[in-house]
Amino acid sequence: MEPKTTILSTTVLSDNWGKLNKVKYEHTLPNGTVQIQEREVYDRGNGATILLYNKEKQTVVLTRQFRLPTWFNGNATGMMIETCAGLLDESDPEECIRRETEEETGYTLTEVKKVMEVYMSPGSVTEILYFFVAAYSAAMKTGEGGGLEKEQENIEVLELSFKDALGMIANGEIKDAKTIMLLQYAALNVFLL
């Protein structure tokens, strides 16, 4: 018997930047046992992220910006080093990540490669994140980056050696899951250390 789930009720707790619902549901297990459970589900939409790399220079482009939730959870400055990322809105993942890359880093990409799709926190968040990698060069730098003022973004663009970026995972300077995953992907598939 396949597990079966039936929604019994949904209550909207917040509908601001994303939607937070309290969901009561009935879940039938493979052995026929029926459980009634309640969970909160946060729907903020899906997103895309990308690691820019330069194999010749052995460098990657990352960003640094303030993330309020990390500050609430003990990050003294709230600053996070991350791969470029953004919400899909109504665009497809590749279109989104090309736009976000220009806005955040100032690079206009020629080719991007999708490498995986990941539920980042499936216990409470609906988001699927689409992961990309792309080679970059100085010739692709068409703007300053830094994000959009109308979105109140204040993003610092970082070009780091790949070796230093991996070291920042080990020493705790990089704690962002999507960034760690893409750097590890690059270690296995791009730079082959």
Could you tell me which residues are annotated as the binding site for Mg(2+)? 85, 100, 104, 153
Known binding-site positions: 85, 100, 104, 153
Residues 6 or more apart in contact with residue 123 via CB below 8 angstroms = none
Residues 6 or more apart in contact with residue 136 via CB below 8 angstroms = 52, 53, 54, 61, 107, 109
How far is Cα 120 from Cα 150, in angstroms, rounded to an integer? 27
Residues 6 or more apart in contact with residue 82 via CB below 8 angstroms = 49, 62, 63, 64, 65, 174, 176, 178, 179
Nearest to 51 by CA among 143, 127, 113, 125: 113
How far is Cα 19 from Cα 26, in angstroms, rounded to an integer? 22
Nearest to 164 by CA among 154, 156, 174, 155: 174
